[in-house]
Chain A
Amino acid sequence: MSGRGRRARWLVVVILAVVLTGTWGESTLWAQPTDAAQDGFVPMDEIPPEEELPAAPLVMTAYAVAWAIVIGYLWTIWKRLGNVEKELADVGRRVSAGDRAGTGA
């Protein structure tokens, strides 16, 4: 397997490890009671508890979004860098081919 392929694999493994660890951490969040001391603070305190939004999905979504954005962005950099390096190799070959073909033409 090429050097780049190996590096890519490593990155995937690392990202998976991070995601799994994080998910383990957050799964303990799920175990917490979700309506702990929230009454009396939100402006709509006349609303009965069953109409209040459950907080846990919001928190999960927030963290998931933050990570998704970071990882997604890193992936776009990775992809773009790969494209540019491929083109660089291409052009490098063309330049050296031009050199070998001699001057003129």
Chain B
Amino acid sequence: MTRRLFPVLAGLSLLFFVGAPVLIVRAPYESTMGLVQKIFYFHFAGWMAMFLAIFVLGIASIIFLFRRIRSADQLAVAAAEQAVIFGLIGLITGPLWGVKAWGVWWQWDARLTMAVILELILVAYLLLRQYGGPGSDRLAAGLGIFAMANVPFLYISTEIWRTVHPRTSVVPTLPVDFGLPLWWSVAGFVVICLAMLSARRRLEEQRATLDELYLALEDEA
């Protein structure tokens, strides 16, 4: 399935990549923020891709934990890596926007804060898989479920945490704008995420096959 899916996704990704700069350049200037607001198209799209990846991670973890389907576990690992990657994109573009709009690199914006915490959880997932030894696939599945379940709580608690404290200056949160360039970028990033997901999953699959072959070799010897 992956063999056929990946070229399609890759082709779509190219389409989006090529189209995005054109649309973004043509987009009107946002009245208060001017040029720097254009970072936002990629920034927001990165978040959407990250949430998609976390969602896939959670579902795949549930399936693996309760049904022990190996390919679900492979999908979960792939999804975790995607979430880390797109989270990284969001976390780098965010401050680049912020240094111009806020005057400081970091200002504990609620969504950026939530993103940092989610990134920590996902990196912890990858660390567990790397250093957890045998059996860490099940443990990681448990963590994956907790990661997905935590998203609404992180969102709520960071939002309230940030809005309650009085601010010394008028500092805006990152805006949510609607328009073709934004959704084009979001769709593009989602497609790229899915393409990389399938590629990464294929890597896991091949690794599993390799392990089985090694075991078969040892059995013969």
What is A's interface to B at a CB cutoff of 8 Å?
14, 18, 21-22, 24-26, 28-29, 32, 34-38, 40-44, 53, 55-56, 58-59, 61-63, 65-66, 69-70, 73-74, 77, 80-81, 84-85, 87-88, 91-92, 94-95, 98
Assess the A58–B36 pair: CB atoms within 8 A. yes
Assess the A26–B25 pair: CB atoms within 8 A. yes
Assess the A42–B101 pair: CB atoms within 8 A. yes
> Which 7 A/B pairs are nearest by Cβ-Cβ distance?
A25-B21, A43-B169, A55-B36, A36-B34, A55-B35, A41-B32, A62-B39
Give CA–CA (A59, B100) in the complex, Å: 10
Per-residue CB contact flags for chain B residues 29-45 toward chain A (1 = under 8 Å, else 0) read 10111111011001100
What is B's interface to A at a CB cutoff of 8 Å?
14, 17-18, 20-22, 24-25, 29, 31-36, 38-39, 42-43, 46, 81, 85, 88-89, 92-93, 96-97, 99-103, 169-171, 192, 196, 199-200, 202-203, 206-207, 209-210, 213-214, 216-217, 220-221
Which DSSP category, helix, strand, loop or mixed, fits chain A's interface?
A: helix
Task: Tell me which residues across on chain B come within 8 A of A40, comparing CB atoms.
Answer: 32
Assess the B92–A98 pair: CB atoms within 8 A. no
With CB as the reference atom, state the residue of chain B lying closest to A41.
B32
Q: Which of A22, A37, A62, A84 contacts B18 (CB 8 A)?
A: A22
Task: Tell me which residues across on chain B come within 8 A of A63, comparing CB atoms.
Answer: 21, 39, 42
